[in-house]
Structure 1
Amino acid sequence: MDLQPSQTTFKHYLLFLSGQFVSMLGSNVAQFVIVWWVTLETKSAVYLSIASFAAFTPFVALTPFTGVFADRWNRKILIGVTDLLQALIALIIITLFWLNAISIWTLIVLIAIRGVFQAFQAPAVSTLIPLMVPSDKLSRINGLNFLLSGVVGFIGPVTAAMMLEIWAIHEILWLDVATFLIATVPLIIIKIPIVKTGIDGGKTSFTRDFIDGLAFIKNARGFIALLMTAMMINFLAMPLDVLFPYYIKFIHQGGASELAFIMATSQVGMLLGGLLMSVIRGFRRKMFTAMCLLYVFFVAYALIALSPKGFFWFIASVMFAAHFCLPIINVSFMTVVQMIVPKHLYGRVNSVMMTLCNLASPLGMIISGPLAEFTGVVNLFLGCSVLGAFFLTLSLTFTDIRYIEETRAVN
């Protein structure tokens, strides 16, 4: 039997989450600054695609295996070590900017290395929620996570844009290092429960653990259909995610302040969506709700593509609506998964799940730039929105995705 979450573990998780919030803020500022530097330095949609591909591919390639490690290794040590290694990469980037020795390809390599460390850390962090949070609080905690992401997404771009007016890039990136170090303090204080693996707590092989995760995904009704749908949606959303700075700068003739304004407004939407999900117990038909709101997202995608030039308020309003839906979609999805996956399998199942969901994302990232050069950014956005709604309809009509909530975990 698994250890059941208690009020004590719940309080420890909230303390851990406070440190992660600080760390996410520093990382968000650093990401904005680096992406804007790549946009201005290269003036190329292709380089934005390559940089995104380099950051994300290690995560997709490694998480099926790192999730098994998250179930087998000491989670506190794993999270702490990967945090410090990411801070080290940030220090190297700072030094190169300070010496004026940075190049786009050097930056891409360092971003990829940091992605490797994130691939080890993310599954370990994700396992803490079902491990430390009581089941009746899962929806609210998932909502709280998106609420905090919205706060970070709102504060981060605005802070970064203001800092760019005052300081050099290498000076701004010190914030990333400082927040990484601050996040280690709660991690040192808290206690993370240890879940026994294998029969009667005995050791099992890495291969056996990996196969167990795949077996659960294969046998849970509707799970594979859900993952395939998520994979296609993530693939089609990549052009908007990767090329948005380019779209604002070169299609709408905007600057860092306009980009920051739109990103901050969109994150207010995510903040409010996260706030909603943190105060209610979730929707009764979680997957149906999520799928309906995905249609809203793709309509918003099309409206962004069709926005008149320079209508930044319109773009911001549509982004607000789209991002309001995202926490509801993701919280509904994550809560269903956390309820049906046994705790002792969660790390490996979650990692395989994340990999399959994001399997097409690196391809979407790397081809977004060339496709934009060939078809135009506006046509690319519009085409992806139409295809997204089409594949969503096929999934709802012809797969078992609507039955996934009938599965129940056996811990």
Structure 2
Amino acid sequence: MTQNRSKPRPIANSAPKGYKGMFRSLESRNFRLFVTGQSISLIGTWIQRIAMPWLVYDLTHSVFLLGLIGFTGQIPVFLLGPFAGVITDRWNKRNLLLYTQALAMLQAFAIALLIVLGIVQIWMLIILSIILGCITALDNPARQSFLIEMVGKKENLGNAIALNSTMVNVARLIGPSIAGIILASTGESACFAINGLSFLLVIISLLRMRIEQQTLKPKQSQFLSSFKEGIKYTFGFAPIKAVILLLALMSLMGMPYAVLMPVFAKEILHGGSHTFGFLMGATGLGALMGAIYLASRKNVLGLEKLIPFACVLFGAGLIAFSFSRYLPLSLFFLIFAGLGMMMQMASSNTIIQTIVDDDKRGRVMSFYSMALMGTAPFGSLIFGSLAQWIGAPHTLVIGGISCILGAIVFIKNLPNLKTQIHPIYIQQGIMENPLDNLEE
């Protein structure tokens, strides 16, 4: 497939070694501002993510409604994601993020107010979850494609993605623990209020950034044509297609494990909100370990082999966790599941953003977001229904086996994918051209 790219730069050996190399993308002032604001906001986001299923289960005691609330919160990403990608490629990304962050802040405050007033009902939470899902559908591709503008140097993009993942998973580690304490001492309303306040820091950081004038796609070009072009480009290039499909499978049959964590905490491990927080925190610890490892890598080389390995690790971790009835052992297995989950997600993101054309980045990343989050609502419904029928442990076994089988298919296609990815790496200066050595 033809790739329109600028003159290659020798970036393979440009990354500094050691701890300095792990944080090289922070050389950019804009990315430092983003990390400062987002690191606090993400803790608030994870506090809300823990509080929402706990609130739903406390109100209804229904495993199915746990799945339903996950479905309604993420289905807009599946339905609206590709259209959001077109908007992202045509509009100013920083302005889009300012709007999405402000709207998400209002959504969190609305739930907090309903709880304080004592009028919160499940149908209200479903509506507000749908609203947040619509916001997220636009926020995700804008945020992912805005990374390159914040970082500036494309050779630091992979490191920025890994550091962003590190930041997410530090929050994943801290947020659930804080949420468990707040839920036990204050209640759900404080969790949503804290998340609402945390968005202010992101808005301030975005306003302080100095972004060069973007070259946007002309507004007179047809929206539908841009939409079709994005689909053709994403699924017409085998490496992007394969990475996105495996990610979608993991999201469909693995990621919904989170909706069953209240069941494992209460019914299987016989704990409370603290146990729930520990379970989610263990996954975050493993994910943090994976993100730190990826940040320490010099470049993208070898990530195409790491993706299926990480998917197998994630699936195996879920299967092992499903058989555990001892909390420390359960936490141990979830650490490995989180490690595999993060390595697959971040590696997929890095490879896609490295090989994609800049003028189609928003549309491709909308399909990445659609695979990561858009398929999860269907998985939430599947997991909720299966858990009610065969139990939560057996449901996780099915999910883990599905992830492992998907990784095996990916491995079989790996030689063909490498033959299409490596010429792009050579063109960008990421790897040497073996023909050059033969000529010498």
- TM-score when normalising by structure 1: 0.91
Distance 1:396 1:122, change over 3 A: same
Change in Cα spacing, 1:147 to 1:111, as seen in structure 2 (3 Å) is same
What is the aligned partner in structure 2 of residue 267 from structure 1? Answer: 284
CA offsets 1:206-257 (integer angstroms, 9 cap, x no match): 2222222222223323332332222222211144122122122112212111
Q: Which among 212, 232, 243 is matched to residue 229 of structure 2?
A: 212
Q: Deviations over 1:48-67 (max 9, x none)?
A: 00000010001221110111
Distance 1:357 1:89, change over 3 A: closer
Q: 1:9 to 1:290 in 2, by over 3 A?
A: same
Correspondence for 1:182 among 201, 208, 213: 201
Q: Which moved more, 1:324-333 or 1:140-149?
A: 324-333
After superposition, the Cα gap between the structure-2 partners of 1:126 and 1:382, relative to the gap in structure 1 and judged at 3 Å, is: same
1:349 paired residue among 338, 361, 364 = 364
1:140 counterpart residue number: 159
Structure 1 stretch 227-236 or stretch 9-18: which is displaced more?
9-18
Aligned to 2:28, the other structure's residue is in SS state: helix
**1:323-402 to 2 correspondence within 5 Å?**
323-356=338-371, 358-397=373-412, 400-402=416-418
Residue type of the alignment partner of 1:278 = A
Deviation at 1:279, TM superposition (A): 2.4
Aligned equivalent of 1:279: 296
Cα distance in 2, alignment partners of residues 142 and 67 from structure 1: 19
Alignment RMSD: 2.6
User: In the TM superposition, what is the alpha-carbon distance from 1:3 to its structure 2 partner?
Assistant: 10
1:150 is aligned to 2:165: no
Q: Which range moved further: 217-226 or 134-143?
A: 217-226
CA shift in 2, pair 1:206/1:250, >3 Å: same
For the 8 Å contact 1:220–1:407, the answer to whether it is kept is no
Q: Judging changes above 3 Å, is the alpha-carbon distance between structure 1 residues 257 and 158 closer, same or farther for their aligned structure 2 residues?
A: same
CA contact (8 A) 1:262 1:319 kept: yes
- 1:110 maps to which residue? 128
1:283, 1:289 within 8 Å by CA — same for their partners in 2?
no
Distance 1:282 1:3 in 2: 19
**Deviates further, 388-397 or 15-24:** 388-397
Structure 2 unaligned regions, length at least 5: 8-23, 429-440
Q: How does 1:124-135 map to 2 (within 5 A)?
A: 124-133=142-151, 134-135=153-154
2:60 counterpart residue number: 42
Contact 2:35 2:167 in 1 (8 A): no
- Whole-angstrom CA distance in 2 between matches of 1:351 and 1:345: 10
Whether contact under 8 Å (1:277, 1:327) holds in the other structure is no
Q: Which amino acid aligns with 1:220?
A: F
Aligned partners of 1:9 and 1:192 also within 8 Å: no
Matched residue, 1:258: 275
1:402 shift after superposition: 4.9
- Choose from 78, 82, 87 the match for 2:100: 82
Match of 1:231 among 243, 248, 255: 248
After superposing on structure 2, the runs of 4+ consecutive aligned residues of structure 1 that deviate more than 6 Å are 1-4, 6-9
Q: 1:330 deviation in Å?
A: 2.2
Superposition deviation, residue 288 in structure 1? 0.7
> Is 263-272 or 354-363 further displaced after alignment?
354-363
Q: Secondary structure at the match of 2:254?
A: helix
What per-residue deviation string (whole Å, max 9, x for no partner) do you get for residues 365-389 of structure 1? Answer: 1122121111111111112222321
Provide TM-score, normalisation by structure 2.
Answer: 0.86
Q: Which residue of 1 aligns with 2:421?
A: 405
Give the Cα separation in 2 of the matches to 1:127 and 1:77.
Answer: 13
Identity %: 23
Q: Flag the 1:268–1:9 CA change in 2: closer, same or farther, 3 A.
A: closer
